[in-house]
Amino acid sequence: MFALGATGLFGGVLTLYLTPTRFVAADVTERVYTAVAANYAALAENLGLAETAVYLPGETRAAHLYLPQSTEHEFPDLEDGPFVTASDSRGLLLEATGALLFDEFEQASSGPVATRPGELATQLSEAVVEQFELADATDVDLDPTGGRLTFRVTGSTLGDLDRLDHPLSSFLAAGTAAALERPVALDVDATDDRVDWLVTLRWDVETEQDETDS
């Protein structure tokens, strides 16, 4: 009995030290994020911003969220936020919700983060489902020659993805912008039954070499 008790005590201590953070229920996290998304949406509406979300590769962080006032715009300097007043890039520049998630994903990766869209999509999909448990499943459709990547997301644990800078879509967009080192435009659509979500990322294809992917 003493041996059994010692084993249980050791297991408890080991569990304590190997569990650095406590788990937070998904519905609690969703409620917190819903308030943040509502505030973002109110700011965007009040400033008359276009319904466009662009993720810019960052310097100290993986990526930033840029909400331009006009669909015809230049990209701002990252030091110009959060309120960008330059006439050719007027808008809102925020730290992307998914930037810290991407940092966590990068630190936990056993190898380097891929810089080719196809390989990157596989890594990000696995992180969404297995590492962060933000969805039950994802499926990827890639058009490297057109600079497009679409994730079909099933079973989002944080509710509807069509809210501004949703953690799941933000992670995918921020990760793609950081890995490809290019601005990435985000578009989110629901399927007819609103069971699955289509997260589409687009970037400019600059050279023929960039377009090639396995």
For residue 43, being part of any structural domain is answered with yes
Give the pLDDT confidence of 136-189 residue by residue, as tens digits: 999 999 998 899 999 999 999 988 899 999 999 999 999 999 999 999 999 999
Question: 88 with 169, same domain?
Answer: no
Select from 46, 78, 95 the last residue of a domain: 95
Best CA proximity match to 82, nearest among 112, 40, 113: 40
Residue 143, exposed/middle/buried by CB under 10 A (0-12, 13-18, 19+)? middle
Tokens 């890995």 identify what position?
A: 179
Give the pLDDT confidence of 67-123 residue by residue, as tens digits: 999 888 999 999 888 999 998 999 999 999 999 999 999 999 888 999 999 999 999
Question: 187 with 134, same domain?
Answer: yes
Question: 121 with 203, same domain?
Answer: yes
Strand partners, 202: 148, 185
Answer yes or no: pTM beyond 0.85.
no
